[in-house]
Structure 1
Amino acid sequence: MTTNVTTVPAYAAPAANAPLERTTVPRRPVGEHDVLIEIKYAGICHSDIHQATNGWGEGIFPMVPGHEIAGIVAEVGPGVTKFQVGDRVGVGCFVDSCRECEYCLRGLEQYCVTGGTGTYNALDKNGEPTYGGYSTHIVVDENYTLRIPEGIGLDEAAPLLCAGITLYSPLAHWQAGPGKKVAIVGFGGLGHMGVKIAHALGAEVTVLSQSLKKQEDALKLGADHYYATSDPETFTALRGTFDLVISTVSAPLDFSAYLSLVKTDGALVNVGAPEEPVKVNLFSLIGGRKTLAGSMIGGIAETQEMLDFCAEHGLGAEIELISADRINEAYERVVASDVRYRFVIDTATI
């Protein structure tokens, strides 16, 4: 592919709730500071489904989801200094930001005051829609492109660009490590990476999941303990136990119940994004000076830090590799929690 080619094969949702289908989408010419990435693998995140079904608000259609992108640099613009052809690279949840606000200047581009530019389901600075990773190529500014270190397969690295950083960022911010007790609520695409990363950071890790069916997997991946939240005794036995609880689930929880598990001065951090509002009894916060917080992915520097950390510790996602013609089936299975633990599309099949 060269800069003269402006369309690439992709899988897109033509309308909200419509099955994804093969199509083509435009890609801008490679600019001064752009890299053209030949996408090798694209993870399927639950947020792809939320957006393709208008669960988080009205989307931009046709929509090409995908913000867990791993591939190889195929071309670079004349001003690019960070990458060269052949480099292993990744793209996460955003491809631009204002670059001027206090958060962008602090390396917290995910909290850009303009909201930044999503990898898909967004409009770029020229007012053109962005299209994500369920495609064969993408053009991205070098400053929003990540280097994937050797030591992680590109297929296992793709989910790190969302699932990995979504858990790494709060674990790092709330200083998970030796001497800290951390609970991960939910053991899916996000949760299994939370367990791996928290364990590698040296924390004592507990998984809180609806049932015991994933217990063996969780312990194998680094959990020290595992409890079923469907058992009321769990909340009695673990009351006041954890320094940090991270909820990865995208359904409303009884936050007062989960706050009861947090120590005084501890935190319950939500990285899941339910479509419905949630309620919380403020007495569950007041008694114990507890924090109920949220966290959203990470900035470019922190995402690179996460990738380097995962490579150093041999951490990749647990994946099920699929062909592109199985995307709609995969969506159904994600909604049914029937995946261990991340679907990844082999984009050579698009």
Structure 2
Amino acid sequence: MPTAVLGYAAQSATSAVAPFEFARRDLRPDDVSIEILYCGVCHSDLHQARNEWHSSSYPLVPGHEIIGRVSAIGAEVGNFQPGDLVGVGCMVDSCQTCEACQAGLEQYCEAGCTFTYNGKDRLDQSPTFGGYSQQIVVSDKFVVRIPAGLDLQSAAPLLCAGITMYSPLRHWNVKEGDKVAIVGLGGLGHMGIKFATAMGAEVTLFTRSTSKIEEAKAMGADAVVLSTDAEQMRSVRNYFDLIVDTVPNKHDFNPYIATLKRDRNYVVVGQPEPIEPGINGWDLMMGRKSISGSAIGGIAETQAMLDFSAEHQISCDVEVIDIQAINEAYERMLKSDVKYRFVIDMASLKS
């Protein structure tokens, strides 16, 4: 018998996120049932709730930065037990057979991965509902273990913001002495500074705001460059081994590309919109530079990121809220009035 659970859902693009009761499926043999303790609030939750990407299906229960405790397991599950502390990120399934899945890159599944919310279950086509809820049921292949030593509240955003920054730094082999720049100091950018610093890189923040200088340095940044200052930008021309751009809206990439060394990469992780203004092809050709994209990370890499975070005592800077404050939190996110992620204490659902 499916289990009735309480959550918060958007019923339309214009409605507030509000209480909503729905059913979680019975356990399949490979399923893990998780009591949700904390759920991070990602900017994509707001985009999806308001149908800003024109792909939302309602009712929509957001949330893909989930920390919880295993409450039950299916008959074939051997790697988790009731009581284990676990996490669920942006995906809950993939085809498991394509080249990307076989390589542990489920986020690039050629058949399309199944997202934690606003997706469809691959077996019964029922809608997936996310972590703004009491409980979730997920295949054990898409559950990660929370290492000892990680604070559960601040670990939640690691499952999206954390892995989004860790994956490109690992893919492009950031190592001690590399010069890495992060564009933007928000939920993604502040994690990029922490991870790149822990990897031994010399880390620079690009920002438009003088108010971010001391914050970035307190997180480990070696330098801060004001992107609005032409002289500062000229001083780092042809300087960086890797740039990771976290800015979530349209902006000019060209000034930053000019600061890359020859044969290096500019990685976009924040902007899901068309690139405007256009890229100066001459700057790319004359430096054999590349523009790349990166999306979250596979399940094995997400587990590696959590283990790395525990080893280096890395966590997200968070503000914990009750679920009843979620609509206010969305408005504050639009004003960048959070340092740097909201996390919902799901115990507040009981009230």
Q: Which residue of 2 aligns with 1:287?
A: 286
Indicate whether 1:131 and 2:154 are aligned. no
Q: Which residue of 1 aligns with 2:254?
A: 256
Q: Which residue of 1 aligns with 2:311?
A: 312
SS in 2 for 1:214: helix
Q: Which amino acid aligns with 2:57?
A: I
Answer yes or no: is the 8 Å Cα contact 2:225–2:233 preserved in 1: no
Answer yes or no: is the 8 Å Cα contact 1:76–1:84 preserved in 2: yes
Q: Distance in 2 between matches of 1:152 and 1:79?
A: 28
Q: Distance in 2 between matches of 1:256 and 1:277?
A: 11
Task: Give the structure-1-normalised TM-score.
Answer: 0.97
Q: Which residue of 2 aligns with 1:194?
A: 192
Counterpart pick for 1:171 among 147, 169, 172: 169
The CA deviation at 1:195 is: 0.6
After the TM superposition, which residues 44-63 of structure 1 pair with which residues of structure 2 at under 5 Å, given as runs? 44-63=41-60
Indicate whether 1:23 and 2:20 are aligned. yes
SS in 1 for 2:210: coil
Q: Which amino acid aligns with 2:343?
A: V
Answer yes or no: is the 8 Å Cα contact 2:226–2:233 preserved in 1: no
Q: Which residue of 2 aligns with 1:212?
A: 210
The CA deviation at 1:232 is: 2.8
Q: Distance in 1 between matches of 2:323 and 2:196?
A: 32
Q: Which residue of 1 aligns with 2:321?
A: 322
Q: Which residue of 1 aligns with 2:245?
A: 247
Answer yes or no: is the 8 Å Cα contact 1:56–1:275 preserved in 2: no
Answer yes or no: is the 8 Å Cα contact 1:13–1:63 preserved in 2: yes
Q: Distance in 2 between matches of 1:281 and 1:53?
A: 34
Answer yes or no: is the 8 Å Cα contact 2:251–2:275 preserved in 1: no
Q: Distance in 2 between matches of 1:21 and 1:233?
A: 49
Q: Which residue of 2 aligns with 1:97?
A: 94
Q: Distance in 2 between matches of 1:287 and 1:24?
A: 58
After the TM superposition, which residues 143-162 of structure 1 pair with which residues of structure 2 at under 5 Å, given as runs? 143-162=141-160
The CA deviation at 1:333 is: 1.2
Q: Which amino acid aligns with 2:48?
A: Q
Q: Which residue of 2 aligns with 1:344?
A: 343
The CA deviation at 1:250 is: 0.6
The CA deviation at 1:26 is: 1.7
The CA deviation at 1:277 is: 4.3
The CA deviation at 1:159 is: 0.4
- Where do 5+ consecutive residues of structure 2 fail to align? none
Q: Which residue of 2 aligns with 1:115?
A: 112
Q: Which residue of 1 aligns with 2:39?
A: 42
Q: Distance in 2 between matches of 1:234 and 1:12?
A: 46
Q: Distance in 1 between matches of 2:142 and 2:55?
A: 26
Q: Which residue of 1 aligns with 2:301?
A: 302
Q: Distance in 1 between matches of 2:275 and 2:53?
A: 11
SS in 2 for 1:95: strand
Distance 1:87 1:114, change over 3 A: same
1:116-139 Cα deviation digits (max 9, x unpaired): 100001111111110111111000
Q: Which amino acid aligns with 1:291?
A: S
% identity of equivalent residues: 52
Q: Distance in 2 between matches of 1:140 and 1:232?
A: 50
Q: Distance in 1 between matches of 2:137 and 2:84?
A: 14
SS in 2 for 1:59: coil
SS in 1 for 2:330: helix
Answer yes or no: is the 8 Å Cα contact 1:241–1:261 preserved in 2: yes
The CA deviation at 1:47 is: 1.2
Q: Which amino acid aligns with 1:253?
A: H
Q: Distance in 2 between matches of 1:26 and 1:237?
A: 58
1:308-348 Cα deviation digits (max 9, x unpaired): 00001111111000011111111111121111011000011
Answer yes or no: is the 8 Å Cα contact 1:55–1:275 preserved in 2: no
